[in-house]
A and B are shown apart, each in its own frame.
Chain A
C-alpha cells in the first residue's frame, strides 16, 4: 500500500457560509482579503487551452482558490499554463504533469480539478479524478455516450464528490429567470420548450482519418494519451489544434455542441431535469433541426438551429399558455411575450437564490459546494439527463428512424441496433 492517509485535507467551511449565496464582501473570505490556508481550495487543471483558459481565469479570480498543477499531453500547453499561473502568483510553483494518472496518484493535496480537454476525455478524466477523491469542474459536452454519463453519476455518488459541468447558463440570471418562470408556472402550463443546437457541423458526423503525419516524441505530444479511450488513428497535427470537432470518434455533433447547454436549460424549466424524453421524432435533415422530443408528461422539447426563437447563441424558449420567455447569449434582459413579465425579474431570480442557496456565478456555485458538500446546479444527474437527450437524438439521426427510449432503464425500446450505440468499447489501457 503506497498511501494510507486521507487523501484530502479538511476544508474549513467558514468561508463557504458567508460567501454564498447572497452577496457578501470579499473581505469576509479572510483578513485583509487573504484566505487562510485551511479555507483554500487547491486546484489542478487538465487540458487547458482556449475555453480552458477562460475557466482557469474564472477559477483563479476566486481568492480562495490556489492553483497548483497542470496536466497536459502537450508540452507546449503545459508550459503555457504554468507560465500563466506562475506569473499570476509571482512564483514558480505550478507543477506540470503529462499523464493524468500521475497527477491523481501523486498529488493528494489537490481538492478540485478543472477539466477542459476535448469532449472524448471529459467523462474519463472526471471519473478518474473523482475516484482519487477530487471534486470536478468539467467543460461540456461531458460524456461521449449514455453509458459514460451514467458512470459519471455513479462515480460521483459512490465517492461523494462534488461535480459541476460547465453549463454556465444554468447560473446566469437571464436564463435562471426564464427557467424559473416556466418551472414555477408563471407562464402557465408550459407544453413546449425550444432549445438551440449549433448552427455548424452536422449530426451525421464523418470519421475519416486525416493524413498521417510523423508522430512527435511522447514528451512533446503524447498521441496515445490524446486519443485516450477512442479508436486509434494516426497522428495529424490538426487534431490537437481543435480539428477533432465534428468527428464521430471525438465529438457529440451539432446537437451536443450546444445541446449540452440548452437541453439542460430547457429540461430544468419544464421540470424534466431529472429524466429525459421517451420518444424522438426523426427529422430528414443533416442536423436534427426541428426534432421533437416527447416527455412522458406530454411536454415537448424541440430543437432549433436557426434564429427563429432567439437572436443570440445557446438560447432556450419556453412557451406557456400565459406567455413565453426566452434567453440567449448577448441579451441585456430576457425576451418575453409581454414587458410586464420582466417586472418579476428581481423577484423570480431572488427567490431562486433564496430557495436553492446557489450563487449566480457558476464557478462560485461549484466552489461553494466544494466547501459545503452540497450539490451544484449542474450536478451529475442534470448533466447526464440532458446528455441522454443529446445522445439519443444523435442515435435517432444516425439510424434515421423514430426512437422510443426508457429513461429508467436508459435503453431504447425494441431497438437492438440503437442499444448497441449506448456505449463504445474503451481502448486499453484507458479502460474504466
Chain B
C-alpha cells in the first residue's frame, strides 16, 4: 500500500486540489491529467509515498516540466531505492535538471553516488559542477573530500565553482567535527586557507573553521595571528571566531595581552569583543584603556567594562559624568545608571552626598532614568531636603514617573507651599500623572486622594487652586466632579475659566449632561464650541441605549454652528448602528455643506443595522435618498 495514512492524505487534499490526485496519485501521474494535478500528486507522495512510486517518479526525473516535482517526492523518501533511482537519473539528465538531481543526492547523503559526483567536478556545465561539489561535501566520504581538496587548488576554476568547492570542504569539515574526526576537519580547512590566490571571503571562512576546529588552546595562535596581522578580512574573521571558541577565559586573557599593541581602530573592535566575551580577566586592561587615550577607545572600553560589571571602573565613570567631552560624559552617565548589580546603585547614592550640587543634580537625573529601583521615596526626600534649589527641582521633576499614592501628600505639600512656579508646575505634573494612573480604577480610587485634593481646593487660591482643579479633573471621579462643578459659577473669572475647561476635558462621561446643557444654553461661542467637542468625545465613551445616544447627537446637530462641527458630530454618529442614528444622519442630507459626511455616516450606520422592522424601514428610507448607499454596503 503506497499511501500509509489516508487520513493524512485527506487533510492535505482538502487544502489542495481535486480529488483525483488524492485518491490515487500514482494513477494521476500516469494519466493525461493536467500539470497542476500531477504536481499535486507528487506532493502527496512526498509525504507518505513508498517504493511503489519509484518507477513512475524515476521516469519523470528527465521530464523538463515534472523533474523537480519528482525530486520533491523522492528527496524525502526513506530507503536506498530512492537513492538508486536518483543515481540512475544522472545518466539521463543534463544541465539544470542534472544539477537538481545532484542536489537531491547531496541532501540524501548518498555515499554510493560519490564516484559519479567526483567525475562531475569536471563537467562542462557550471551548475552541475557547483551542485556536485556541494553534494560531495554534504556526503563527506573521504574519497569525495580528497577530490574537493584537489579541486580547490585548481587555478582554472571560475569563482562560482571555487566557492562551491569551498562550501563542500566546509560542510565536510563540519561533518568530521560532528563525528569527532578533528584532524580531518583541520585538514579540510587548512587546505582552503593555504591557497593565497583564493578570494579573501573564502580564506577567511577557512581561517575561522581552522581556528575553531583546533579548539581554544591550539587555535589561539592562529587567532592571534589574525588579530595582529595586516589582513583586515582575517581580522574580522578572528573577531567572530573568538566569540565561538569554548574557553572564553583563555581567549579573553590572550587577547588582553595584545591589546596595547593594536592600532586605535582595531583596539576599539577588540575592546568591544572583550565586552562581548564577558570575562572578568579583561577588566584591568579595559580599565587602562578607559582612563586615557583616544576618546573613541575610552568610550568603547567604558562600555565593555560596564558589560563585564567590572566594579573598579565605577570611580572612573563617576569622575567622567562631568567630563567636558560629551561622548565620555554620556557614556559615563549611562554606564553608571545601569551598572549591573548593587555597586552602581551605591555609587549613584554616594553622588547624592557630594558637596558639588551639579554632581547631586546629575545623580538625581540618573535616578530619574532608572538608576535605582523604587526611587520614589528617595527622590521625594531629595526634593524636600536638598540645600540646592536646582537639585530639589530636578528631584521633583524626576519623581513623576515613579509616583504612587504614598507620594501624594508630599507632592501636594510642594504644590501648596511651592517656592517657585517651576516647583508648583513639577508638583502639579506629578499629581496629574498620579491621578491618571488611578483613573482606570476610579471606583476603587483611594478616598484619601480625592479628600486631600478637595481639602486643598478649599484651602488654596489663585494659581494653586487652579492647579488643584486640573488635578481633580484628571481623576475623573464623581467626588472630584462634584467639587469642581460649582466653581464653573464662581465670580472669579480665572477660576471659572479653569473649572469650565476642566469639565470640558473631563475624562469620563460624568460631564456629558453638563457639557450638552452648556451647548444648548451658553451665550459664549467659545464655551459652546469647547463643550460641543467635549460632548462628541464623551458620547463615544458613554454607555447608553442607541436611541438615547442618537437623540444626543441630534441635539448637537441642531446646535452646531459650523460645517466643521456638523462633520465632527456626524463622524461620532456614524458609530451607532440604529434606525434613530440613520434618521439623524438623513436629516442632514439637505445641507450641501455636510452632505458628503452625512452620506458616509449613513453608509457606516447602515452596515451596523440589525434585523428589526424599524431598522429595515430606516434602511429603505436611506436607500431612497442615497443612491450610493447600496454600493456602500456591498463594499
Footprint of B on A, CB under 8 Å?
1-10, 12-14, 16-18, 21-25, 28, 101, 105, 131-133, 154, 157-160, 204-209, 231-233, 248, 339-340, 343-351, 353-357, 372-375, 398-400, 416-417, 419-429, 431-432
Contacts and interface: CB of A to CB of B under 8 A. Distances in A.
Interface in B248-270: 264-266, 268-269
8 contacts: A16-B269, A22-B330, A25-B327, A105-B159, A133-B199, A209-B36, A348-B370, A420-B76
A6 B78 contact: no
Contacts of B370: 344-351
Contacts of A423: 75-76, 107
Contacts of B71: 425
A346 B269 contact: no
Contact of B376 (A343, A350, A424, A425): A343
Nearest to A342: B401
Given A231-B69, A357-B275, A25 B326 contact: yes
A429 B160 CA distance: 13
Contact of A350 (B155, B162, B297, B337): B337
A8 B5 CA distance: 52
B303 A22 contact: yes
Contacts of B264: 14
A122 to B, nearest CB: 19
B11 A398 contact: yes
A1 B205 contact: no
B112 interface: no
A5 B203 CA distance: 11
A357 B15 contact: no
Nearest to A7: B201
B100 A159 contact: no
B296 interface: yes
Interface in B322-379: 326-327, 330-331, 334-335, 337-340, 368-374, 376
A210 to B, nearest CB: 11
Interface string B119-142: 000000001000100100000000
Given A18-B299, A372-B269, A154 B159 contact: no
B291 to A, nearest CB: 16
Interface stretch (B233-241, B446-454, B502-510, B617-625): B233-241
Given A5-B199, A373-B236, A346 B72 contact: no
Contacts of B104: 425
Which has the most chain B C-beta neighbours within 10 Å: A12, A28, A232, A354? A354
B443 interface: no
A339 B299 CA distance: 36
B46 A420 contact: yes
Contact of A207 (B16, B201, B300): B16
Contact of A160 (B12, B232, B241): B241
A400 B268 CA distance: 53
B261 to A, nearest CB: 17
Nearest to A23: B330
Contacts of B372: 347
B611 to A, nearest CB: 26
B236 A160 contact: yes
A424 B232 CA distance: 38
A416 B5 CA distance: 11
B625 to A, nearest CB: 35
Given A233-B36, A375-B243, 8 more contacts: A105-B159, A131-B167, A204-B11, A340-B404, A357-B276, A373-B239, A425-B104, A427-B68
Which has the most chain A C-beta neighbours within 10 Å: B14, B156, B265? B265
Nearest to B209: A158
Contacts of A344: 370, 373
Contacts of B266: 13
Contacts of A17: 268, 271-272, 296-297, 299-300, 303
Given A231-B68, A416-B78, A24 B205 contact: no
A355 B486 CA distance: 55
Given A357-B276, A420-B76, A373 B269 contact: yes
Range, interface on chain B:
35 or more
A11 to B, nearest CB: 8
B226 to A, nearest CB: 11
Given A8-B201, A400-B7, A431 B103 contact: yes
Contacts of A345: 370, 401
Given A231-B39, A357-B275, A3 B199 contact: yes
B306 interface: yes
Nearest to B40: A207
Given A343-B376, A357-B275, A417 B303 contact: no
A2 B158 contact: yes
Contacts of A355: 307, 338, 340
Interface in B1-51: 4-5, 7-8, 11-12, 14-17, 36, 39-40, 43, 46-48
Contacts of B310: none
Nearest to B205: A159
Contacts of A398: 11-12, 15
B220 interface: no
B244 interface: yes
Interface string B489-510: 0000000000000000000000
Contacts of A25: 326-327
Nearest to A350: B338
Contacts of B16: 206-208, 248
Contacts of B268: 13-14, 16-17
A347 B338 contact: yes
Q: Report, nearest first, the 6 A-B pairs whose CB atoms are least far apart.
A: A346-B370, A6-B200, A10-B232, A428-B100, A133-B201, A347-B370
B65 interface: yes
B112 to A, nearest CB: 19
A5 B200 contact: yes
B306 A354 contact: yes
B471 interface: no
Nearest to B97: A428
Contacts of B159: 1-3, 105
A160 B160 CA distance: 19
B200 A417 contact: no
A354 to B, nearest CB: 4
A417 B5 contact: yes
Interface string B290-330: 00000111011001101100000000000000000011001
B340 A207 contact: no
B432 to A, nearest CB: 15
Interface in B532-577: none
A373 B296 contact: no
A105 B269 CA distance: 28
Contacts of B160: 101, 105
B197 A4 contact: yes
Contacts of A232: 39, 65, 68
Contacts of B107: 423, 425
Contacts of B384: none
Contacts of B331: 22, 24
Contact of B272 (A339, A357, A400, A417): A357
B218 interface: no
Contacts of B239: 372-373
Given A7-B200, A16-B272, A158 B170 contact: yes
B293 to A, nearest CB: 12
A1 B197 contact: yes
Given A354-B340, A399-B11, A420 B47 contact: yes
Nearest to A372: B272
B393 interface: no
Contacts of A354: 306-307, 334-335, 337-340
Nearest to B206: A158
Contacts of A427: 68, 100
Nearest to B102: A431
A422 B374 CA distance: 49
A21 B127 contact: no
Nearest to B126: A429
A419 B275 CA distance: 41
